Chain A
Amino acid sequence: MFHFIGLLSPGLMASTFLYQPTARYSYGIDVPASSRNFGSFSLRFLSPRFPTNATRSVLHPSSLSNSHSLSSESESSLILIRHGESLWNEKNLFTGCCDVPLTKRGVEEAIEAGKRISYIPVDMIFTSALIRAQMTAMLAMTQHRQKKVPIIIHNESEQATTWTRVYSGKTMQQSIPVITAWQLNERMYGELQGLNKEETAERYGKEKVYEWRRSYDIPPPKGESLEMCSQRAVAYFKEFIEPQLKSGKHVMLAAHGNSLRSIIMYLEKLTSQEVTDLELSTGIPLLYIYKEGKFMSRGSPVGPSEADVYAYTQNLAVYRQQLEEMPH
């Protein structure tokens, strides 16, 4: 069952920051009114099942079984990438939802991450509303072997939707929609944002700070607890990302330590104790396979330069082979 995705894309420009479940998911293509049925609209332009290029038969796992229907045997990949070093990480300041960009090192980490996932199919990208996650996704995708182009979707306003419209069906098919969502933002750190760890320990006391940083449900003043962060991140994942996976789309998610831990908590059914101990490396992508409603962790893909012949699943191995056969 294909859900049509109502979503909001609050990027960095004039946009509403509030969650609106009924927002339309407009890919900006000019289609006749009669076919504005979102089920078929989305399938026609977003589904990898109908590309016109030669690799059509391989790009979607279900097509390997010569079936174009949504079979329950379809599997899709989910890549999670935590962004790398930001300019405030470097200065040891609490960042939270302050929109601070990557350092040189963070840029390199993103590119490295991209090399590791260069053979894994990506049909859609979700990022937070913060530039460090968006840059991580865009930098990583410059390394991708498949030559589809990421395009950030803008739905903040009528003008934004109209102005970003694409008028070629062929170009649309070669595009990977990028959705930005504040619900994937880093945990909001309230009054600690911008403070350094020294300052904070002095102002509030060491134990208090430790508690805020490491507990599950105690928020810093005016901030979010990990629990609160999980709530909005997982809700977003279940409502908007999971349906994509269910329909066979391969998804990449570029976000932050706490929003990703929250999602992993859901994927792997962790307890609140387990999640507070979960450390996520920066810039190292994590791969999950979604199949028959379940998420299977497949660790971190190795880079193409490494001597492994790592086949995550048969489908992915075939995909990789096809990419290697394509000229590039």
Chain B
Amino acid sequence: MATEACCQAIGILQSHSFLNNFNHHQKLQINLVKFVTRDCLSSNGLSSRGSNYSGQRNYGIVRSSASQTSVVDPVSSPSRSNTGETNKKSSEAALILIRHGESLWNEKNLFTGCVDVPLSKKGIDEAIEAGKRISSIPVDVIFTSALIRAQMTAMLAMTQHRRKKVPIVMHNQSEQARTWSQVFSEDTKKQSIPVVASWQLNERMYGELQGLNKQETADRYGKEQVHEWRRSYDIPPPNGESLEMCAERAVAYFRDQIEPQLLSGKNVMIAAHGNSLRSIIMYLDKLTSQEVISLELSTGIPMLYIFKEGRFIRRGSPIGPSEAGVYAYTRHLALYRQKLDEMFQ
């Protein structure tokens, strides 16, 4: 019944509806999105920063405690409240990216793509570990893909969060879904973190390779062909998506739905997949297509970006609270963490 276009419409509708549901006095800062993108990427080309990047990039490296210098941000606005209220002037927002951990097909070495396979025991542990690392970073809204392994990763990670706001999955598929999931207490709404699930953040769709093991596939199609599909930027497997196609729908979604949240000062967490996250990082870090295909993203290790004045500043991987660093990512985040510490004293 619903066509692909309808799927996209529904994806967008989900987010719009969630804003209405929660009666936030936010306006979708569509105008500002245009402003922001003036020196960002055009829809398929990316500016090159070739000299800064070389070879394979591994984002899973924990930042060493040597880098303890806190960024001194001129704080011209009062310290932000924990409810993430609009603060446009010098607002900064945290963006956390988490790639889900091991799934039951990873374990069996099968191509997964968009087949909706859950986490293995190891994947569950990875999600909880990831949660510990971000337990002191504010989260106001969560975006996940439509696949259970990303959703579970987000929900498991949030069981470790110190703030005690409760994630609630938004349902906008139909009038009934919307009505049935309605919350009738303002206080409760304020203590809630909306979770928006969207297919646009799904893993790259792997077409006819989905469910095949790597041996089977090499036998069926030949090793070079398979390598090409897996590692090229724009060559899709039969009936599947290329990385380029995946990037198109993931980045478009990010710009339409997620960036406005950051612009309005909301702290965002995205729980998704290797290829959809690489696509988004390509946009955030302005990578070339050559650079993105050699980008490796560790599973279960959260990545932090600070969004400020329309720019994304990469801040590496937050270390767990048990580690001895006194790492202040920004002054705002340090204040937030301090408040949490006081709450739990």
Report which A residues bind B (CB closer than 8 A).
Answer: 10-18, 87-88, 91, 93, 96-104, 107, 129-131, 134-135, 138-139, 141-142, 149-154, 156-160, 163-168, 171-172, 178, 182, 185, 188, 190-196, 199
- B3, B146, B155, B212: the one contacting A101 at CB < 8 Å is B155
Q: Which residues of B contact A138 (CB under 8 A)?
A: 118-119, 148, 152
Query: Within 8 Å of chain A (Cβ to Cβ): is B174?
Result: yes
- Total interface residues on B, CB under 8 Å, equals 66
Q: Is the Cβ of B202 less than 8 Å from the Cβ of A163?
A: yes
Given A156-B173, A199-B185, output 6 extra A-B contacts at Cβ < 8 Å. Answer: A13-B199, A101-B169, A107-B159, A152-B116, A156-B2, A182-B177
In the complex, A131 Cα to B166 Cα: how many Å? 13
B41 / chain A contacts, CB cutoff of 8 Å: none
Query: Chain B residue with minimal CB distance to A165?
Result: B210
Shortest CB-to-CB span from B233 to chain A, Å, is 20
The 28 sampled A-B contact pairs (Cβ below 8 Å) are A12-B151, A12-B197, A13-B197, A14-B10, A14-B14, A17-B174, A17-B176, A99-B181, A100-B167, A100-B168, A100-B169, A101-B158, A101-B169, A138-B148, A151-B117, A153-B116, A157-B4, A157-B6, A158-B4, A159-B3, A159-B4, A160-B146, A163-B205, A167-B210, A167-B212, A185-B180, A192-B184, A194-B189
- Report the separation of the CA atoms of residues A199 and B2 in the bound assembly, to the nearest whole angstrom: 41
Question: Are the CB atoms of B151 and A131 closer together than 8 Å?
Answer: yes
A93 to B108, CA, bound (A): 41
B119–A142 touching, CB < 8 Å: yes
**Contacting residues, chain A, for B82 (C-beta < 8 A):** none
Taking a contact as CB atoms under 8 Å apart, the answer to whether A18 and B169 are in contact is no
**Given known A151-B117, A158-B3, contact A194–B184 (CB-CB < 8 A):** yes
A16 and B119 contacting across the interface, CB-CB below 8 Å? no
Inter-chain contact A131/B210, CB cutoff 8 Å: no
CA of A160 to CA of B166 in the docked complex: distance in angstroms?
Answer: 29
- Bitwise, B1-42 to A at CB < 8 A (1) or not (0) is 111101100110010000000000000000000000000000
Among candidates A11, A135, A164, residue contacting B152 with C-beta atoms closer than 8 Å: A135
Interface residues in B314-335 (C-beta closer than 8 Å to A) = none
Contact A195 B166 (CB under 8 A): no
Q: Does B124 contact A (CB under 8 A)?
A: yes
Q: Which of A99, A100, A168, A196 contacts B211 (CB 8 A)?
A: A168
Q: Tell me which residues from 75 to 110 in chain B have a Cβ below 8 Å from any Cβ of chain A.
A: 104-105, 108, 110
Q: Which of B135-189 contact A (CB under 8 A)?
A: 146-148, 151-152, 155-156, 158-160, 166-171, 173-177, 180-185, 188-189
C-alpha spacing A248/B180, complex, angstroms: 34
Distance in angstroms from A66 CB to nearest chain B CB is 32
Does residue B309 face the partner (Cβ distance < 8 Å to A)? Answer: no
Closest chain A CB from B165 CB (angstroms): 9
Q: Are A171 and B173 in contact (CB under 8 A)?
A: no
Q: A14-B2, A168-B211, A188-B180 are in contact. Are A131 and B169 (CB under 8 A)?
A: yes
Known: A101-B167, A164-B116. A158 touches B2 (CB 8 A): yes
Question: Given contacts A13-B199, A17-B174, is CB(A193)–CB(B184) below 8 Å?
Answer: yes
- Chain A residues closer than 8 Å to B166, beta-carbon distance: 87-88, 91, 100-101
A12 touches which of B124, B146, B156, B183 (Cβ 8 Å): B146
| Cβ–Cβ < 8 Å partners of B275 in chain A | none
Inter-subunit contact B169/A99 (CB<8 Å): yes
Evaluate whether A157 and B7 lie within 8 angstroms (CB atoms) in the complex, with A138-B118, A171-B212 already known: yes
In the complex, are the beta carbons of A160 and B180 less than 8 A apart? Answer: no
The residues of B that contact A141 with a CB separation of less than 8 Å are: 118
CA distance A235 to B147 in the complex (A): 28
Residues from chain A with a CB closer than 8 A to the CB of B184 are 190-195
Contact, CB under 8 Å: B116 / A151 = yes
Output the least CB separation between A169 and chain B (Å): 9
Asked if B216 is at the interface of the complex by the 8 Å CB criterion, the answer is yes
Q: Please measure, in the bound complex, the distance between the C-alpha atom of A141 and the C-alpha atom of B171, giving whole angstroms.
A: 26
Give the distance in Å from the alpha carbon of A29 to the alpha carbon of B114 in the complex.
14
Do A160 and B199 touch across chains, with their CB atoms under 8 A apart? Answer: yes
- By a CB distance below 8 angstroms, the chain B residues around A191 are 184
Contacts of A185 in B (CB 8 A): 180
Q: Say whether, besides A131-B169, A157-B7, A172 and B1 are in contact (CB < 8 Å).
A: no
B155 and A135 contacting across the interface, CB-CB below 8 Å: yes
User: Which A residues are in CB contact (< 8 Å) with B160?
Assistant: 104
B207 — which chain A residues lie within 8 A by C-beta?
A: 167
Q: Which residue of A lies closest to B110 (CB)?
A: A171
Which chain B residue lies CB-closest to A88?
B166
Q: Known: A15-B173, A17-B174, A131-B169. Is A107-B2 also a contact (CB below 8 A)?
A: no
What residue of chain A has the Cβ atom nearest to residue B197's Cβ? A12
CB of B68 to closest CB in A, whole Å: 31
Task: Find the residue from B183, B198, B205, B211 having the highest chain A CB count within 10 A.
Answer: B211
Q: Of A104, A130, A149, A167, which contacts B104 at CB under 8 A?
A: A149
Instruction: Find out whether the CB atom of B199 lies under 8 angstroms from the CB atom of A166.
Output: no
Contact, CB under 8 Å: B177 / A17: yes
**Is B120 interfacial (CB 8 A cutoff)?**
yes
Provide the bound-state CA to CA distance between A158 and B2, in Å: 7
Q: For residue A225, give the distance in angstroms from its CB to the closest CB of chain B.
A: 15
Interface centre among B10, B176, B181 (most CB of A within 10 A): B181
Interface centre among A14, A134, A159 (most CB of B within 10 A): A14
